[in-house]
Amino acid sequence: FPGQTLDAGPLAGVGHSVGMAIAAQLARPGKQVFVMLGDGGIGVGGMDIETAVRHKLPIVFLVYNNSSWMGIGARQFLFDDEMPSWDMVPGIRYDRMFEAVGCYGEHVEDPADIRPALERAFNSGKTSVINVVVDDRVVHPMMTSPMMGQFLLWRAWDDLNENARRLAEPVFRMLGLIK
C-alpha cells in the first residue's frame, strides 16, 4: 500500500529515521517497523530510541556501522590531502549503548548472522538495536560521482587537490564558478 516504505531519498538524510519509525509504529500499532540507519544517523537521532523504549514500541533498528560518515573517511583523499579524519571512534557498540536504556541488542560481524539477529529482535517484542559492523571501504557509488562536488563548494577552486577538482568540476562549471 502507499506509504509502506519511508525513505529520505538519494540525498541520505541523517538521523530522521528514528522519528519516522516512531510515527510509523504509532500510526500502525502492531505492524513490524524496521529501520536501517548508519552510525552517523544514530549519532544524530539515536537518543530518540529511548523514546521508543519508554513507549514500548517494538521497532527494530539495524545500525550500519562502518565507523565513518558515509564511508568518506576511506575516501578523504578525494577532498583534501590534509583534511582531518571524518571517521568516528572505531568499534562503537551501539547494541550495548541501547541495551542500557532497555533495548534488545545484538552485535553482528558475519553477514550470515544478520537474518537470525533480526528474527530474534522482532520476536523479542522490544525496541531493538542490531549493530552490524561493515567494511568502511565499500561505499555507495555516489561517493565517487561528480555529485559529490557539491560538498566542495565551500572551498576555492585553487585550493582543491586534483582528485577533488575531478569531482567538483561539473558542479563548479554549472554554477559558473569556473569556465
Burial label, 154 (beta-carbon count in 10 A; 0-12, 13-18, 19+) = exposed
> Is the separation of the CB atoms in 45 and 18 below 8 Å?
yes
Largest distance between two CA atoms of the chain? 59
Element (H, E) at 59: strand 59-65
Q: Tell me: pLDDT of 41 over 60.
A: yes
Length of the chain: 179
List the beta bridge partners of residue 65: 133
Residue 104, pLDDT > 80, answer yes
Residue owning grid cell 529482535: 121
Give the per-residue pLDDT at 146.
61
Confidence class of residue 142 from pLDDT cuts 50, 70 and 90?
Answer: low
CB contact set of 13 (below 8 Å; sequence gap of 6+):
none
With cut-offs at 50, 70 and 90, classify the pLDDT of residue 113. very high
Mean pLDDT estimate for the chain: 83
Please write the tens of the pLDDT for every residue from 4-27. Answer: 776 666 555 677 889 989 999 999
Report the distance separating Cα 158 and Cα 143, nearest Å.
22
Amino acid in position 41: G
